[in-house]
Homo-oligomer: A and B are copies of this chain.
Amino acid sequence: MLSQPVNRPLPMRHFAEELPAAQPDGEPSTPVRAMTAAGEANRERILDAALARFARTGLSGTRIEAIAQDAGLSKTNLLYYFRSKNALYLAVLTRTLDMWLEPLRAIDADRDPREALGHYITAKLEAARDHPEASRLFALEVMQGAPMLSAVLATDLKELVDRKVALLQLWQAEGRLKPHKPHHLLFQIWATTQHYADFATQVEQLTGASLADPVFFQQTREAIVASILGAVLP
C-alpha cells in the first residue's frame, strides 16, 4: 500500500510525469530548480530508447536495464529520471500520442474532399514510414485493450473522431462524398497505412521492399488512394 504523498514540491526530473488530474487545486508543484542541459538530454535519450524497446517487445517484455544501456545510463540512473517502468511507459505513450493524432487534426473542412483525404492518407503513410515504432507502440497498446490509454482515447480521440465524422457527413450531405458510414472510411485508412509499419517485417519478407524505398512508397500510396478514394468519391 502506498501512502498518498502530499503536495510536496516535485523535483524537476519528475515534473512532466504527473497524471492529468493529479492536482485539484493549489500550487502546480513548481519544480525546485531547472534541469541541467545534460539532464534534459538524458531524458530525451531515455525516451527514444524506451520507444524503440517498448515498440518491439511491449511493456512486460522490456527490461528497464536494456533501455538504460541503449541510452548509455545505469539502471539506477534511469530510475532517477522516471520513478518507475510504468511511468516511463506512460511518458513514451503520451509523448507519441500527438504525433499519431496530428494528421487527423489536419483534415481541413475548407479543402476539397479528394485533396483533404489524399493528404491524410499520404500523411499517415509518411508517419508509418518515418515513425514505425510509434505506430507499433500504439498498436500494441490498443490491441491489449489500451490499459494505460483508455481514458485518453475515450475522450481526446473520441472527440476528435466525432468531429471529423461530422465533417465527412457534411460532405456527404453536400453530395461531395458517396453515402457511407464514415467510420469505415477512417478505419480503412488507419488499417492500410499502419499495416505497412506494424507488419513491416512481414511486408519485407513477402515483397522484399519497404516504405523506405521511394518507389515502393509511391506504389503503396497510389494503391491505397485509388481504392479508398475510388470508393467514396462520387
Q: Name A residues whose Cβ lies closer than 8 Å to a Cβ of B.
A: 56-61, 136, 139-140, 142-146, 150, 153-154, 157-158, 161, 180-181, 183-185, 187-188, 190-192, 194-196, 198-199, 201-203, 205-207, 219-220, 223-224, 226-228, 230-232
A63–B23 alpha-carbon span in the complex (Å):
35
* Contact pick for A158, options B144, B188, B203, B206, CB 8 Å: B206
Contact B153 A227 (CB under 8 A): no
Q: Contact: B144 with A139, CB < 8 Å?
A: no
Given known A-B contacts A219-B184, A227-B188, A199 and B58 have beta carbons under 8 A apart: no
List of B residues within 8 angstroms of A142 by Cβ: 199, 201-202
Residue of B140, B143, B180, B230 touching A231 (CB-CB under 8 A): B230
Interface residues of A, dominant DSSP: helix
Interfacial chain B residues near A146, Cβ < 8 Å: 201-202
How far does the alpha carbon of A58 sit from the alpha carbon of B56 in the complex, in Å? 12
Residue in B140, B154, B232 whose CB lies within 8 Å of A140: B140
**CB-defined contacts of A57 to chain B, threshold 8 Å:** 60, 144
Report yes or no: A206 in contact with B161, Cβ–Cβ below 8 A. Answer: yes
Cβ-defined partner of A207 (8 Å) among B183, B191, B194, B231: B183
Given contacts A56-B144, A61-B58, contact A206 B183 (CB under 8 A): yes
Since A136-B143, A191-B194 are in contact, a sample of 19 more A-B pairs with Cβ atoms closer than 8 Å, ordered by chain A residue number, is A61-B61, A139-B143, A142-B199, A142-B202, A143-B198, A145-B201, A158-B205, A158-B206, A184-B219, A184-B223, A188-B192, A188-B223, A190-B195, A191-B191, A192-B192, A223-B231, A227-B231, A230-B230, A230-B231
Closest partner residue, chain B, to A59 (CB atom): B61
Closest partner residue, chain B, to A184 (CB atom) = B223
The answer for the CA separation of A191 and B198 in the assembled complex, in Å, is 10
Expressed in whole angstroms, the minimum distance between the Cβ of A185 and any Cβ of chain B is: 8
The CA-CA distance from A158 to B223 in the complex, in Å, is 22
Inter-chain CA distance A158–B201, complex, in Å, is 12
B220 touches A184 (CB 8 A): yes
Q: A61-B59, A61-B61, A231-B226 are in contact. Are A203 and B219 (CB under 8 A)?
A: no
CB distance from A188 to the nearest CB of B (A): 5
The residues of B that contact A161 with a CB separation of less than 8 Å are 206
